[in-house]
Structure 1
Amino acid sequence: MKKTYYLFNPGRMSRRDNTLKFTPVDENSSEGSPKYIPVEGVSDLFCFGSLDANSALYNFLGKVGIAVHFFDYYEHYTGSFTPKEYLLAGKMQIEQTKRYIDKKKRMEIARKFVAGAMFNMGKNLRYYINRDKDLSPILEVMDRYASLIEDTTAVDELMGIEGNIRQTYYTAFDTIINADFQMENRSKRPPQNEINALISFGNMMCYTLCLSQIYHTQLNPTISFLHEPGYRRYSLALDIAEVFKPLLVDRLIFRLLNKREIQSKDFDHQLNACVLKESGRKTFVRAWEERINETFKHPVLKRGVSYKHLVKLECYKLTKHILGMEEYKPFKARW
């Protein structure tokens, strides 16, 4: 089974037959022991440190279908190298574009993304309400905002409602998290404290997961419905990530902090910024991989499905909706 490889250290990568050779390089340009990765076991690469590679390597990665995702020092996603769009189909691109241009049809899909995200955020709060956390007033405010979703007629209005729901939802974090951290307000670019740093890092991981799964379908990642398509970004991944952030990112943050798997020593406090140290990133990524590869019995398919594959299934459902085969219904957690 192919898996994702995370490169935290800067280094050089080259090809040796059907194997990738990664040689870590420290700040003094001293080389460490090389590591060899068989190509057939790689789905994609996440590079958190600088990667020195030539065009011959990228030609090889393109031929074998391996994507490379890049992040800067502050853990912001900066871009991806993706193999040529081998699954893109003309009919799908035409239909996807038509759905975007048609205001009514676009709104139909956009509302479903927000409704799915709202349901899953509410599911998280209900879990803790059942464990004697006083979150009912927050959920009631979220429900009032959610009642406005179906009557929206403009995307910017819908985005405003989604923003209000999520900001209200974030006020529950200080009650849910038992550790010695306070979220206060949501801050990003840069995050101002530990919880915000984890949210930004986790959301980035979720976005990249959605992008990598879209790549394996006929969908065009640049044509979106809730978020405005923009230059040099894959906005459809932002749409789909809305549904999964409460399930994959937020639940993981609650676990990592409440079980003290990530602690204060795993953060780097700088002037007006807080980011994860390498130790924190490694802990988060290890838990993230466990989470997305965790399987559960799918309520419709009646078989075991991983959360990673669940994202791909969400893309397939959207594909069927765009082609007029089946109405799209966002995934809603039942547990």
Structure 2
Amino acid sequence: MVFKNKIKSSVIVIEEFGTSLGVSKNTLVIKKRGKIAKKLPLSHIEKIIIQAKGVSISSNLIYALQKRKISIEFVDYKYNPYAMIYGIELSYPKIAIKQLEIVNSEKRIEFAREFVKAKIVNQRNYLKIMSKYHKNLEENIIKIDKIKSKIKNANKIDELMGYEGSIANIYWNGISKILNEEDFKRITKGATDRINTALNYGYAILYNKVQKALIKAGLGINISFLHTFEKKPVLVFDFIEQFRCVAVDKAICFSLKKSDDIDVNNKGMLTREAKRRIVEEVNERLATFYKFNGKKYTLNAIIEFQAFRLRDAILNSIKYKSFIARY
């Protein structure tokens, strides 16, 4: 129970208008309407997420957080990130130059293949585990295996994305069977149903974690190997693929099958209880241990390790090995 409480307190989500955040003796002080609502030791906090307007943050708190490498992240009502406060680190222009060199070379496809391969293998393995309880998943697994075998020979990004898209359709059909929701279709933007909205919310939590890890590793998050270049942190879209299924899909499927707490209101937005449940479940997945490099590490630690592994692969022109969950 102590471990669970630590997980819950590691990510602080501020959702109420007019909340003020300050610091006193290495303790976060949260006030509502001028009165102290909660105090938490900074040592127990991983990050603070602001999902409300009219929130005030003291400069003393910002200073205390940056010394401990704790980020303040801002998200909209759909949990899409739009800003972050994080301590100033030394910039790594050398890495950005190397990233651009790779993007304009034949090595780009090697990095892209690794991200796609890990995503597909993790999806396939999850369906395989769930096939012990849902016998109708075998057809999906066979279809995925047929397409998966073609990935190693893909030499163009469009070809790779085509395989990834085909497998995604098969995978989400498998998820619909697990959830006993025959009409479920994956929607990434503008979703109002509880399954898609819950998944999008969970991915946004993971997105923040991944972006922070890449920034910490000094990578240029606007330089992508797999996705189209935009005025967005597209490297996050690449890197997150290897963790989506393990950190979010499993958490959301488990929660939806376990209880009715995850629901949307009449505007197609998650209820406060649903958000609380998803934050809790995803953070518990991030705190789960997996076999990695011959030992066991939390998924949180693995994400950071993989960010530095990606940096090393870029700087030293060595093969990048994506994360495949081993239980």
Quote how far apart the aligned CAs of 1:240 are: 1.3
Number of the residue aligned with 2:294:
301
Number of the residue aligned with 2:272:
278
User: Which runs of no fewer than 5 residues in structure 2 stay unpaired?
Assistant: 1-5
Number of the residue aligned with 2:14:
7
Q: 1:32 to 1:160 in 2, by over 3 A?
A: farther
Contact 2:67 2:87 (C-alpha < 8 Å) held by counterparts: yes
Number of the residue aligned with 1:254:
253
Structure-2 separation of matches of 1:5 and 1:137: 42
Number of the residue aligned with 2:173:
171
Q: 1:186 to 1:137 in 2, by over 3 A?
A: same
Contact 1:20 1:36 (C-alpha < 8 Å) held by counterparts: yes
Q: Percent identity?
A: 24
- The secondary structure found in structure 2 opposite 1:33 is strand
Quote how far apart the aligned CAs of 1:82 are: 2.7
User: Which runs of no fewer than 5 residues in structure 1 stay unpaired?
Assistant: 25-29
Q: TM-score, normalised by structure 2?
A: 0.87
The aligned amino acid for 1:249 is V
Structure-2 separation of matches of 1:81 and 1:312: 18
Quote how far apart the aligned CAs of 1:97 are: 2.2
Number of the residue aligned with 2:264:
267
The aligned amino acid for 2:42 is V
Q: Deviations over 1:121-179 (max 9, x none)?
A: 0001111223342112222332333233233333233223222221221111221125x
Number of the residue aligned with 1:27:
none
Contact 1:320 1:327 (C-alpha < 8 Å) held by counterparts: no
Q: 1:38 to 1:301 in 2, by over 3 A?
A: same
Of 45, 64, 70 in structure 2, the residue corresponding to residue 66 of structure 1 is 70
Number of the residue aligned with 1:91:
94
Q: How does 1:106-117 map to 2 (within 5 A)?
A: 106-117=108-119
Task: Tell me whether 112-121 or 93-102 shows the greater mean CA deviation.
Answer: 93-102
Quote how far apart the aligned CAs of 1:44 are: 1.7
Q: 1:251 to 1:245 in 2, by over 3 A?
A: same
Contact 1:248 1:291 (C-alpha < 8 Å) held by counterparts: yes
Query: What is the Cα-based RMSD across aligned positions, in Å?
Result: 2.5
Q: Deviations over 1:257-281 (max 9, x none)?
A: 1212x436x32132xxx22111011
Q: TM-score, normalised by structure 1?
A: 0.85
Contact 1:133 1:176 (C-alpha < 8 Å) held by counterparts: no
The aligned amino acid for 2:31 is T
Number of the residue aligned with 2:132:
130
Structure-1 separation of matches of 2:135 and 2:53: 43
Structure-2 separation of matches of 1:31 and 1:162: 51
Q: How does 1:36-75 map to 2 (within 5 A)?
A: 36-53=39-56, 56=59, 60=63, 61-62=65-66, 64-75=68-79
Aligned length: 318
Q: 1:192 to 1:164 in 2, by over 3 A?
A: farther
